[in-house]
Structure 1
Amino acid sequence: MVSKSQKRGIAYDLSSINDLNAMSDGISWYYNWGTAPNAGLPYSLSAARGVDYIPMLWNENFHEPSVLKFFKENPGIKYMLVLNEPTIGLQAYTEPQRAAELWPKFENIARQAGVNIVGPQVTWGTMPDYQAPADWLEAFIAAYAAANEGRQPQIDFLGFHWYDYGLDDQLTLLARFGKPFWVTEFANAHSQQDGAQIDSLEKQKAQMSEMVALCERREDVFRYAWFTGRVNPDPHFQRLFEGDGELSELGRHYISLPY
């Protein structure tokens, strides 16, 4: 009998067995934007608590033999996150053409390891001409097809990040690409002083309840991950942990929500 959501996870570098134990009754996976778990929390420990670690190839700087070695040693992991926020300058822009050149490397690793590709992790960005995630995706897919005899890139799941109201509408906009989703970062960080700003724990709890219910309800959302575990300052009350192994009120709320 399944006793927790198989979709629910966290976007956070779990490094403490106490944090894992506090959270593991309510999540089934996590990632840390890296290609291996934190040295303080080997994968065997999280796996024993029913929490998968999912590696990410954040951009084009990765060591392929190390990635393949990790998958070989952990054959239960069947997914690989790739390419984080290509249209946001803080992450260093990845132009659609460059992503098309890089994608066969991801495909090669996925083929050798027998894993699914989850990505790119798209969101609304700041790249000139490609602020809208759909615009960047269309250009990327066209560039890949042009370089690969009309073939489509392997995208088994599409990653998406969202920090405002309207998650349902955003996913529906991207549904035309025909891919199931991993919502790999989400919370509500609405900060405009318009009466709808998230400036209290109760408002964030209400938003969490609504967004989690949506992700659980939508059949095209395969997994989702709240951002984040700890952050300081925390103006929008997003943190899931307080001290080591101590859930925040929001963290307790997250693992208690229906699925």
Structure 2
Amino acid sequence: MSATGRGLPDIGLVVAARRGDQHALNDVVAASLPLVYNIVGRALRGHADVDDVVQETLVRVIRHLPALNDPAAFRSWLVAITIRQVRDWEQRRRVALNRDAGLDAIHNVPDPASDFAGMTILRLGLTDQRREVAEATRWLDPDDQELLSLWWLEETGALARNEVADALGISPGHVAVRIHRMKEQIQSARAVVRALRAQPGCPDLRAAAAGWDGNPNPLWRKRLARHIRDCASCGRQGATLLPIDRLLAGLPLLPLPPSLSAHFPSAALPPAAAQPAGYHPSDPAVGHTAGTATPGGVPVDSGHGLADLAAQPHGLVPKLAVGAAAVVLAITTVVVVQQDDPTAPSWAAPPTTAPIAVPTPNASLSPSARPSSKAPVAPAVSSARKGVGVWSFGGVSQALATSKAGWYYTWGTQHTGISTPQGVTFVPMIRSAENVTDAELARAKAAGPYLLTFNEPDLAEQSNMTVEQALTLWPRLMTTGSKLGSPAVAWGGAEPQGWLDRFMTGASSRGYQVDFITLHWFGAEFTTTTAVNQLRQYLQAVYQRYKKPIWLTEFAMMRFGGGGQQFPRQEQQAAFLTAATTMLGQLPYVQRYAWFGLPATDKDRSGLFRGASDVTPVGRAFQAAR
């Protein structure tokens, strides 16, 4: 549409956290926690030390964040630190086992409440072959559990292959080889799981498993798989196994456990997300993932220092009652990076010659360090994922700040007349072919790490471009060095041989960079449940086709035709926005979303504000969305 008519923290939050913003650092920790928990929990196979390792990871992240060279690389940096902590834990465990072999049973006792295979089956409602895959992961070699934790997240869309490679410290090609071997092990384990469950079952298999204690392990996987390969009856059980990649694609992150989310609600889904519109227990595509923190949403106990916290056994979950925010406060009070710290990450910038001290609001500041009383107050951004399309109107800057949006765009490379609130990021767009100029590209490069591209090229009244024209201009957009979104088609993003499909095919064949898919969606069906289901199905179909993160940059309820646009009642629009954003929070591959749009006029009746502070019912729903 014309400008006149959405996991992990955004780079803006990371930048603010590095500069000492207390709320931003709290948000960064909260937004990072679900990913860290999923990596650690699966890599440690639900061991009782999961909480300890998650705590150690977050402590290292906060301690070394000021030294991070590139805020845009925060996610890769976070994953690398997490894997390093997992490896350190494994090394400590092996040393302990060698020293005290008689305690082997104790060291290897998993926490029943943290068994990731079991929780994945139970809490994501997996069925049939997806259930078998989750169970098969229990049989993997220990060294492959670490790889599995990353590959699983890659398949959900939460990580990219280069991030997996960076975390493991190997090349993407080597990652591919290791993943291939690991998938062969899982496939073998799936056959074992299915054969063991078969009724009435194979007598020879029961005899082969006579000495097995019932606990899955790599040794018994190999023994039982050997029988299955040689047994005609058991071999038939594995004849209908679907490829693992198809079964895991789009599977959401496992939500934080109740013991954690109860004390850290800002890192968990709201209760309404438990059963989204159209949810059915047998639908494996519906699950839960964590949202982003609300600033100040966790009580802070400033009496706990970093040393006290780190010394606590299994410290993270119990301590989160006084919060992960207590971790944040303790470390942001004084963050010291020692010059000779042997544990400093190799990918961080060299530590400064002096300690880095980040004051909290309660710290004593020198007159020169005290913030000016005239400094603008940061808005209560409720989610870095949540954005809005903006064009100028009376009071636009105040309305944008009041909306609690984490980002916005203007269908251009500038935001003339619009003041960007603190904590909010502006994302530029190269709207059409006529905007591919040196001046516009320079402004886009300077505006930030992301770049939106050609707006609805499949419509004559918008950028009106052929696929070949867009592909010809694409190398010039690549010169900005930005993360590039695909052209945002008006519809048909998942259609074979549609505009977007032909563009993506051409970009792939030419080796062009496309970092995420940009989509628009307007629902002509004004029933909330139906509209939310249609939007979810569209997003899932697009992700299945391209396997790239998605930005939904225009969406609302709106019908076209009959000489104009038709809108539902404001209350209906608000109900749809609430249900839709809840659903979007459950799709980990939807990185950002933007409502259409900020102004509410007689023409654009899906808008959020009629003026600087005149918020519509839809605007109030947007303010509450995450």
Q: TM-score range by the shorter chain?
A: 0.7 to 0.9
Give CA deviations for 1:111-154 in whole Å, capped at 9, x if unaligned. Answer: 2xxx20012112327xxxx9948621222234445xxxx33321
- How has the CA–CA distance of structure 1 residues 191 and 116 changed in structure 2, closer, same or farther, with 3 Å as cutoff? closer
Q: After alignment, is 83-92 or 155-164 more displaced?
A: 83-92
Question: What pairs with 1:63-82 in structure 2 (closer than 5 Å)?
Answer: 63-69=437-443, 71-72=445-446, 74=447, 77-82=448-453
Say yes or no: does 1:61 pair with 2:445: no
Give the Cα separation in 1 of the matches to 2:444 and 2:478: 16
Give the Cα separation in 1 of the matches to 2:521 and 2:444: 29
Give the Cα separation in 1 of the matches to 2:414 and 2:617: 29
Give the Cα separation in 2 of the matches to 1:70 and 1:18: 24
Is the CA contact (8 Å cut-off) linking 2:444 and 2:451 kept in structure 1?
Answer: no
Which residue does the alignment assign to 1:22?
A: 402
Using the size of structure 2 for normalisation, the TM-score is 0.35
Which residue does the alignment assign to 2:464?
A: 93
Which residue does the alignment assign to 2:498?
A: 135
Give CA deviations for 1:220-250 in whole Å, capped at 9, x if unaligned. Answer: 0011000012243257x41100222332221
Once the two structures are TM-superposed, the CA of residue 66 in structure 1 deviates from its matched residue by 4.2
**More strand, by proportion:** 1
Alignment equivalent of 1:8, drawn from 371, 386, 392:
386
- How has the CA–CA distance of structure 1 residues 238 and 133 changed in structure 2, closer, same or farther, with 3 Å as cutoff? farther
Question: What pairs with 1:60-209 in structure 2 (closer than 5 Å)?
Answer: 60-62=433-435, 63-69=437-443, 71-72=445-446, 74=447, 77-109=448-480, 111=481, 115-124=482-491, 132=495, 135-144=498-507, 150-164=509-523, 165=531, 166-175=534-543, 176-190=545-559, 199-209=568-578
- How has the CA–CA distance of structure 1 residues 224 and 238 changed in structure 2, closer, same or farther, with 3 Å as cutoff? same
Give the Cα separation in 1 of the matches to 2:388 and 2:593: 8
Which residue does the alignment assign to 2:347?
A: none
Give CA deviations for 1:18-57 in whole Å, capped at 9, x if unaligned. Answer: 223322xx2110001011112x22xxx42x5211111100
Which residue does the alignment assign to 2:409?
A: 31
Once the two structures are TM-superposed, the CA of residue 70 in structure 1 deviates from its matched residue by 5.5
Give the residue type in structure 2 aligned to 1:209. T
Q: Which structure would you say has the larger Rg?
A: 2
Say yes or no: does 1:217 pair with 2:580: no
Give the residue type in structure 2 aligned to 1:17. S
Once the two structures are TM-superposed, the CA of residue 100 in structure 1 deviates from its matched residue by 1.2
**More helix, by proportion:** 2
Give the Cα separation in 1 of the matches to 2:575 and 2:488: 25
Determine which structure has greater relative contact order: mean sequence separation of CA pairs < 8 Å that are 6+ residues apart, divided by chain length: 1
Give CA deviations for 1:142-178 in whole Å, capped at 9, x if unaligned. Answer: 4445xxxx33321101100001121111111111211
Give the residue type in structure 2 aligned to 1:53. F
Tell me, what secondary structure is at the counterpart of 2:487? strand
- How has the CA–CA distance of structure 1 residues 209 and 134 changed in structure 2, closer, same or farther, with 3 Å as cutoff? farther
Q: After alignment, is 58-67 or 204-213 more displaced?
A: 58-67
Give the Cα separation in 2 of the matches to 1:223 and 1:37: 19
Could you tell me the percent identity over the aligned residues? 27
Gaps of 5+ in 2: 1-25, 28-293, 295-381, 524-530
Q: How many residue pairs end up in the alignment?
A: 232
- How has the CA–CA distance of structure 1 residues 231 and 21 changed in structure 2, closer, same or farther, with 3 Å as cutoff? closer
Using the size of structure 1 for normalisation, the TM-score is 0.80
Gaps of 5+ in 1: none
Give CA deviations for 1:57-95 in whole Å, capped at 9, x if unaligned. Answer: 0011123234324533x5xx2101001111112114211
